[in-house]
Amino acid sequence: LSAGHSCELRDVADFHSPSDVAHLVSQNPPFEAALAIHLFKAGRLLLVMSFLYKVSHFLFALDLRLPFGVIFGGTDINEDVKDEQKRVVMEQVLLKARFAVAFTEKLKEEAEFVLCLDELRVFLLVCGLRRVKDPLYLADVFSEWHSENLHNVLIIIGPKVSRDLAPLRVDCDNVILKATGVFLAQERSQQELHAAMKRCFAVVNSSVSEGMSAAILEAMDLRVPVLARNIPGNASVVKHGVTGLLFSSPQEFMHQSQRLLSDQELRERVVRSGKLYVEEHHTVKQERETYQRLVDKLHKAQFSA
């Protein structure tokens, strides 16, 4: 009230049917906005309002499409996200929300990671926050692209940096605070990372230099398209237009991404060829046998010396 707003706080347990929600928001004067605490428990009611607006002839004259924001609860990320049906609802809530609030940085990062929305086109950059990985190479162009189409987002997943690289982490944090559609998440276990890869639209590599990118090979093995910066280390693995797509500038990254979005045949071809490349050249069985032979040679050399 002191800020000039009239507010009404309600418990989600007060609502037993969609008509209860409709009755609340159709009061006179009508509600102008809503704030939901807990994505599933409270947020689902905001979806109910949207549903009612679309399908009920009686309510059609009412503007129930309230702008709303959401506040994450710990239960959202720690428990509800494990339930597939609840997670789908939470993702729908986030798609429609004007903003989302997390009480801690850790909760924010967890939310960014576990709710990579299926409706979004998530480009995943897997790299340590090191200068050679150039994690901010695409930040500006991606921010502009996100402003044009909110469905396109870039998530950077990287391990904690050593103390001497802390300034780069600060740079990343500052840039990402200003860049819309670009998010930074902490490193994950291999199992969690692979799960994120499977759900993303494409895996990105923007390194200045690479020997052989494990993330690229893992993406190919998981049948995920790869967009990689055109440097010798990447080009030795990614054959442009066959096992992935290469780019030499942020603008060319945009062009190749648009190709991948519009050409389903191209997407299927690079996924199929990438998987075949890994199976022919980088299988665990093949590499295990190769290194075993090398170790055997060392063992024999020791006794023949």
Contacts of 99 (CB under 8 A, 6+ apart): 69, 70
Q: What is the largest CA-CA distance in the chain?
A: 95
Q: In this predicted structure, what is the pLDDT of residue 239?
A: 97
* 70 phi/psi in degrees, rounded to 5: -130, 155
292 to each of 169, 282, 284, 298, 300, how far by Cα in Å? 39, 15, 12, 10, 12
Q: In this predicted structure, what is the pLDDT of residue 197?
A: 92
Q: In this predicted structure, what is the pLDDT of residue 62?
A: 35
Q: In this predicted structure, what is the pLDDT of residue 83?
A: 86
Contacts of 144 (CB under 8 A, 6+ apart): none
**Number of other CB atoms surrounding residue 17 within 10 Å:** 9
Q: In this predicted structure, what is the pLDDT of residue 138?
A: 94
Tens of pLDDT along 178-203? 777 888 877 788 888 898 899 899 99
Instruction: Give start-end residues of each CATH 3.40.50.2000 domain in the chain.
Output: 120-305
Pick the CATH number of 120-305 from 3.40.50.2000, 3.10.450.350, 3.40.50.300, 2.60.40.420: 3.40.50.2000
218 to each of 33, 106, 162, 194, how far by Cα in Å? 44, 26, 25, 8
- Determine the Cα–Cα distance for residues 75 and 84; give it in Å rounded to an integer: 14
CB–CB of 52/21 below 8 Å? yes
Tokens of 220: 């190919």
- Determine the Cα–Cα distance for residues 131 and 191; give it in Å rounded to an integer: 26
Q: In this predicted structure, what is the pLDDT of residue 55?
A: 35
First to last CA, the chain: 88
Collapsing DSSP to helix, strand or coil, 274 comes out as helix
Predicted TM-score (pTM) of this structure: 0.64
Low-confidence ranges of the chain (pLDDT < 70): 1, 18, 48-65, 117-119, 160-170, 177, 303-305
Q: In this predicted structure, what is the pLDDT of residue 126?
A: 92
Q: Residue 12 carries which side chain, given as an amino acid letter?
A: V
